[in-house]
Every structure is written in C-alpha cells, then in structure tokens.
Amino acid sequence: MPDKPQDSLLIVDDNEPNRALLAVLLERAGYKAAIAKNGIEALEILRSNDIDLVLLDIMMPGMNGYEVLETMKNDPDLHHIPVVVTSAIGDMDSVVKCIELGAEDYLYKPINRVLLEARVGACLEKKHLMDKEIKQLEELNQMKDHFVRTVSHEMKNPLALIMGYVELLLEDEMVPEGEAREFIISIQRHTQQMGNLIRDLLDLSRIETGMSLDLEATKLAPLIETSIDNFKFLAEKKSITIDYTPPETEVVLTIDPSRVQQVLDNLLSNAIKYTPAKGTVGLSVEVAPERATIRVKDTGLGIPQEVLPRIFDRFYRVQRDDDDATEGTGLGLAIVKAVVDQHGGDIQVETVVGQGSTFNVTLPYRSPPSDENVSSTALPDKANSTR
C-alpha cells in the first residue's frame, strides 16, 4: 500500500483501453490516478498539479514519450518526478533509450498487475526518501544562511566602533608619525576589509532572503556618473583612464536605483582593480527598444575561459600569481548577478586573457514588479562602495 498521504500518479497513453485499465489497477492499489491523452496534455497536468509518478507511453502521435521525458528532465520543477515507461513487449531499444533519458523503470504491455504494483511502489519509496533528504538539505541551508546573517549583523556594530576609534586616533594625531602609527593604519586597512566582507555578506543575504525591490523610474546616466565619482580616485592612483560615452538619448529605467548603483560600482571597481596601471576602462550604454545595455570594458587581465562560469559564485576569486595584493571578498559578482536577475535582466562577459574583459548588463526598461520577484530587498544602508 502506498504511503499516506495518497500518492497521485499520472497515466499518459494515447490508447483509451490502456488508460482505463491502468487507472483501475492503480486505484485498486490505493493511488489517485490522473489521465493524459497525449504528451502536451501530460506536461500541462504536470505543471499545474502535484504528481508523484508518471506512467508514460512511448509511442504517441504528436509529442511522443521521449519528448515528454526530455522536457521533464530539463525542467527544474519536473525533473525529480520519477517516470516509469510503458512499452510494447520486447521493445528493448525504446526502453534503453528512455532509461538513458532519465526514466526510472519500465513495464511491458499488456501490464502485469503484480509487476505494476511492485515497480510503482519501489519508485515511490525512493522518491519519498529523496524528497525527505532534499527537505532536510533545504532546512540546513536555511539554518546556515540565518547563522551567517546573524553573525554578520552582530559583527557590524563592534566593527563600526573599532573603525570610529581608529579614525579618531589618526585624525586627532594622538599617535605621532612612527611605528605605532603604521600599526594603526594597518589595523584600519584590515578593519575596512572586514567591514567590506560583512557588508557584502549582509547584502547578499538580504537579496537572497527575498525582500522586495524599491522600483522607481530612474535616469541611468546619473547612476553611472555617481559610480565614476566613487572610483575616480582609485583609477587616478593607477593612472587608469575612465572613458565614458553617455547615452545619446536620456535612458529612464524602472529599477531599484540603489541596487543598480551597486551593480555599476562592482563592475567599475573590478574593471579598475583587475586592470594594470595606465590602462583604460570604458563605460557606455546601448539603447534598444525595450532594453538598455550597460557596457563596462577594460584593458585588464582578462578571465580564463575555464573559470568564467564560476566568477558569479559566492567567494570565487580567480587564482593569479601576479595580483596577490588585490583585495576582495569574491562576493561582488554574486551580488551583481542576483540584482540583475531580480530586475529580469541579463549579464554577459566577453574576455581574453591578457587583453581585457567586457561586462554587458542588459536591463529591461520596466523591471518585473517587486512582488513577482522571489528574491529581492531594499538596501537602506548601501549606496557607496569601496570594492
């Protein structure tokens, strides 16, 4: 007998007598049975109902079983649902193909009642175990996020106090030039790094815990100009030219300005950080009917193709021999990606090692309304950045 609560199974078959027989057998075995006459209908039912297992016929007109299976396995919402294929007796090739495509098991027609119950029961048992494990992992992950958030938050205030006193010591010249002053300057630098890490961790956790965006009609150019102002000093220190081409027409986007500012700050600071002295960083905007693309181009180190997919991961930093001194948390691009996703935008990178990188951020003129976003938040304490 199936587990409680009752499991829902979907029978997919173009042949009416087959469907009817399977439905009776499954209902007698204690399951709920839903029915689809073809592949399209099957996917519709799967997307709008909680189905625990699919009994899938392979040969069907229109969308066949392979296509249903492939669609399911490529859909993150459906790929965990076990599929038992039903095939004509002896049709080994089809069965093998289905198993390769991710089917859990198979049954030959005409369906044998005992085998049906045994295989369905075993598949469901495996699925329930897996569901339980996934749930536990999700809970653990939530606990970890909560822990990181709490610790970061608790560290924020003492750190601000340390920073305040260090500044006081330096500004009021309470400590004269010499070794002690050097030590304090070093404390200041390291405290600043720790502050950046905490700020990034809190930002990311806010974005990921799903508070809403503060969307408003925002002119893009002033955001870019603010970013340039924020990092002009850093560029000048390395004799890097910032080459900004303002958009030809005024671009007004419905976005969360402080978040998008954060995206620009991160990309510009990276471009400057990972470009050797005397290089150039270009900023431009390309306008399309429904979207604007912000382009941040540098003549810097570039990113090896094999690690490119990882640069948006939390804490990931490219290992380089020559830039040991470059400070960073490895969280900047994770934040950038999360914010761009929240706005329904897209980010692309073109890069050649030794020549430079271009980060293209495309944002729709009108972002999806905040409450449609699964994860988003306002960042009241975040506008400037020293990344």
| 332 lines the binding site for Mg ion (CB under 5 A) | yes
CA angle at 51 for the pair 69 and 119, rounded to the nearest 5°: 70
Binding partner at 329 among ligand ADP, Mg ion, none, C-beta below 5 to 8 Å by kind? ligand ADP
Taking residues 128 to 157 in sequence order and writing x for each that binds Mg ion by CB under 5 A, - otherwise, the string is ------------------------------
CA angle at 122 for the pair 116 and 124, rounded to the nearest 5°: 100
239's CB contacts (< 8 A; 6+ apart) are 277, 278
| Closest separation in Å from C-beta 335 to Mg ion | 9
Q: What distance in Å separates the CA atoms of residue 98 and residue 78, rounded to the nearest whole number?
A: 16
Nearer Cβ to Mg ion (82/328): 328
| Closest separation in Å from C-beta 58 to ligand ADP | 46
| Closest separation in Å from C-beta 196 to Mg ion | 10
Residues engaged in binding ligand ADP (CB under 6 A): 266, 270-271, 274, 298, 300-303, 311, 316-318, 328-334, 357
Peptide bond into 304 cis (omega under 30): no
Q: Which of 270, 357, 373, 385 is in the footprint of Mg ion by CB under 5 A? A: 270
Peptide bond into 247 cis (omega under 30): no
73's CB contacts (< 8 A; 6+ apart) are 79, 101, 102
Binding partner at 317 among Mg ion, ligand ADP, none, C-beta below 5 to 8 Å by kind? ligand ADP
Size of the site for Mg ion (CB under 5 A): 4
Binding partner at 195 among Mg ion, ligand ADP, none, C-beta below 5 to 8 Å by kind? none
What are the C-alpha distances in Å from 356 to residues 208, 242, 383? 31, 14, 27
| Closest separation in Å from C-beta 340 to Mg ion | 15
DSSP string, 289-319: SSEEEEEEEE-S----GGGGGGTTSTT----
| 357 lines the binding site for Mg ion (CB under 5 A) | no
**What residue ranges bind Mg ion (CB under 5 A)?**
270, 328, 332, 387
